[in-house]
Amino acid sequence: MNDDDKTISRGGMIQKLALAPIAIGALVALRAEADAAASVDQKTAAYQTHPSGSKKCSGCSLFIPAKTNPMKSPGTCKLVKGSIQPNGYCKFFSAKAH
């Protein structure tokens, strides 16, 4: 590989710089969409911190577990706002496909 292969052209640099705000904007929009997705408050969802029989949030397709200690630490939900316990339950329970 020679030095010419490592050189970035002015046009190439301008193109990369022009695309950066678009990429950043897309990431911001995705984050805003994720935040807006959890749109139901816990009271409306009839959320409770304990399971209903064998139905619990950790077994729900809408549950997003915590990254650390996922079976004990609160996670989030794609639908219900706020902190969600893995052993919790709400009326929107939807079993994960196995």
Q: Residue 13: give the domain boundaries.
A: 1-37
Same domain, 63 and 92: yes
Q: How many CA atoms lie within 13 A of 58 on its CB side?
A: 14
Indicate the average pLDDT of the chain.
83
Is the model more confident about 97 or about 34? 97
SS (H, E, C) 17-84: HHHHHHHHHHHHHHHHHHHHHCCECCCCCCCECCCECCECHHHECCEECCCCCCCCCCEEECCECCCE
Same domain, 89 and 54: yes
- Mean pLDDT confidence for 66-75: 89
Q: What is the pLDDT of residues 31-67, one digit of tens each?
A: 555 555 678 999 999 999 999 999 999 999 999 999 8
CB atoms within 10 A of CB 63: 23
How many structural domains comprise the chain? 2
Q: What is the pTM of this model?
A: 0.60
d(CA 98, CA 95): 9
Q: For 9-23, 28-42, 74-88, which range has the lowest pLDDT when averaged over its residues?
A: 28-42
Same domain, 30 and 55: no
